[in-house]
Amino acid sequence: MAPRKPSSSAKGKGAASSSAPPEQKEGGSPVQGRVLDRRMVKRGNKAVVQWLVQWLNSFPEDATWVDYQEIKSKYPQFHP
């Protein structure tokens, strides 16, 4: 199944969000979500991969851009 396109408000956010998922399961492991889109942004001289993540129990328009490396390091069990 192809990912849904985010609303223009979510897609237009220029800065990556460093916020955690809105809810957490017992034990502190994050709730699952899904990746709606992917992009590369330039940060200094490097290209950074970001995912537009819709966290579980949230609306697509509330999705946030998060650096892939941040998700991988903070939430290694996250599998969209």
User: The domain that contains 52 carries what CATH number?
Assistant: 2.40.50
Assess if residue 9 is contained within a domain. no
Q: Residue range 32-61: average pLDDT?
A: 93
Ordered alpha helix ranges (H), the chain: 8-11, 68-74
Instruction: Answer yes or no: is 42 within a domain.
Output: yes
Can you give the pLDDT at residue 18? 46
Tell me how many domains the chain contains: 1
What confidence tens digit (pLDDT) does each residue in 16-43 have?
Answer: 444 555 544 444 444 578 999 999 999 9
Read off the pLDDT of residues 1-14 as tens digits, 9 standing for 90 and up: 444 544 444 444 44
Angle at 52 between CA 6 and CA 25, to 5 degrees: 110
Residue 55 lies in a domain: yes
